[in-house]
Amino acid sequence: MELAGVEPPPSVTIIDDDPEDREDLMDLLRDHGIEPRPVNDRYGQDIDRLVADILAIGSSFVICDYRLQPKNFASFSGSKVVRRLGMSKQPAMLLTMYQSNNRLELRQERADMPVVVSRRDFEVERLGDYAEICRREFSDNPIDQRRPHRSLIAIRDIRNNHGPTELDVVIPNWRPDESIILPELCLAPGVTTGLEVGDYLLGDVNVGAEDEDDLFFRNVNEVIKACEISDL
């Protein structure tokens, strides 16, 4: 890939509510000669203060755990933090659970988070790449896997038995044989009414993504009704 071999950052700020995990990550970074800078405080709902604290520390990269609530570090998710840091062009990544089960929660926010890695796949050696991915995105030149293209989204099923509506969709230009779940929340508000199985949506999707969890959806705001499609 175009990124191979970017030098790791000299220092990394760590946000993790679990002291064991945090210490472990810090040791790991030290082993690689990277200075870890933990944030130790409780933030409740005050995301502004946390973001300000992180920016004040001034590391060139930030690793943020997804779940900040279990140990009462904060009452918001790490994804919110990473997105806020992105707005300030602060390179940051989200670290998810060992075996990610928040695929659907993250799908809605994935567009604004350049790097999301599960604990299992996390490699210190790639920290330089992770930071570079963020910088490329901030300078409007995202890597191939993160580049959005206007894409067709075929609706295979619509489910709303309980809770929020979910669609089963196929993105022909990504994997024509694989259907994935798309929460209705990823769709623009206007297009959801009257949607039927067999219809198509049009939206910006990073069809270069390797993994389903890396897909993001933006501007899903056009519908092609099944009946509009003419024979060839």
Q: Give the Cα-Cα-Cα angle 148, 152, 153 (nearest 5 degrees).
A: 100
Give the end-to-end CA distance of the chain in Å, rounded to a whole number.
40
Q: What contacts 172, CB < 8 A, 6 or more positions away?
A: 152, 154
Q: Which one of the spans 49-57, 82-90, 128-136, 153-161 is the region binding another protein (CB under 8 A)?
A: 153-161
CA distances in angstroms from 94 to 9, 21, 122, 169, 178, listed in the order given: 16, 14, 10, 26, 26
By the rule CB under 8 A, 228 interacts with another protein: yes
Contact pattern for another protein over residues 15 through 44, marking x by CB under 8 A: -----x--xx--x--------------x-x
Identify the bridge partners of residue 116 per DSSP, sorted by sequence position.
Answer: 94
User: Closer to another protein at the Cβ: 7 or 144?
Assistant: 144
Q: Which one of the spans 6-14, 55-63, 113-121, 162-170 is the region binding another protein (CB under 8 A)?
A: 162-170
Q: Closest Cα partner for 166 from 186, 182, 190?
A: 182
Distance of CA 103 to the CA centre of its chain: 9
Q: In angstroms, what is the minimal distance from the CB of 58 to another protein?
A: 27
Identify the bridge partners of residue 54 per DSSP, sorted by sequence position.
Answer: none
Q: In angstroms, what is the minimal distance from the CB of 164 to another protein?
A: 8
Cα torsion 81, 97, 127, 211 to 10°: value is -100
Q: With beta carbons less than 8 A apart as the criterion, state whether 68 and 76 touch.
A: yes
Contact pattern for another protein over residues 186 through 225, marking x by CB under 8 A: --------------x-x---xxx-------------x-x-
Q: In angstroms, what is the minimal distance from the CB of 131 to another protein?
A: 18
Task: List the interface residues with another protein, window 62-91 (CB under 8 A).
Answer: 67, 69-72, 75-77
Contact pattern for another protein over residues 93 through 132, marking x by CB under 8 A: --------xx-xx---------------------------
Question: Residue 9 is which amino acid?
Answer: P
Crossing angle for the helix pair 47-57 and 78-87, nearest 10 degrees?
60
Q: Which one of the spans 33-41, 53-61, 115-123, 156-164 is the region binding another protein (CB under 8 A)?
A: 156-164
User: Closer to another protein at the Cβ: 87 or 97?
Assistant: 97
Q: Which residues bind another protein (CB under 8 A)?
A: 1, 20, 23-24, 27, 42, 44-45, 67, 69-72, 75-77, 101-102, 104-105, 144, 147, 149-152, 154, 159, 161-163, 170, 172-177, 200, 202, 206-208, 222, 224, 228-232
